[in-house]
Amino acid sequence: MRGRTLANAAVILDEAQNTSSMQMKMFLTRLGENARMIVTGDPSQIDLPPGQVSGLDEAVGLLSSLKNVAHIAFSTSDVVRHELVSRIVEAYDGAAHAKRNSNKREKP
């Protein structure tokens, strides 16, 4: 992608939670005239090596105050698969929340 400009295009980056910071920057800086970028990803499904920052998480934090940049976060109510999938997601989210809280209590 280096050296390319994506003009007159609609460009979608899917699974962006697994990009590094540099990969995300390289992608976003390809934006050309009359182009739109859509970046999708699920921060709860990051598959990067431990300690590596997700390019998606970083971009959301860095770019949230920029004009013409929007961030839309979906919730379990937006799941359009089988209704049981929403309950499965909620169960996993609840378990992750409980684990984070128990880890906080264990630290002196």
Residues 15 and 41 occupy one common structural domain: yes
- Residue 35 belongs to domain spanning: 1-73
Residues 4 and 55 occupy one common structural domain: yes
Which tokens go with 53? 């920052």
Q: How many independent structural domains does the chain possess? A: 2
H/E run at residue 61: helix 55-63
What CATH number has the domain bearing residue 52?
3.40.50.300
Closest CA to 16 of 70, 60, 81: 60
Residues 65 and 96 occupy one common structural domain: no
Q: Structure pTM?
A: 0.72
Residues 51 and 96 occupy one common structural domain: no
pLDDT of residue 93 exceeding 80, the answer is yes
Closest CA to 35 of 12, 1, 9: 9
- Tell me how crowded residue 56 is: count the other CB atoms within 10 A of its CB: 22
pLDDT for 18-48, tens place per residue? Answer: 999 999 999 999 999 999 999 999 998 999 9
Residues 86 and 69 occupy one common structural domain: no
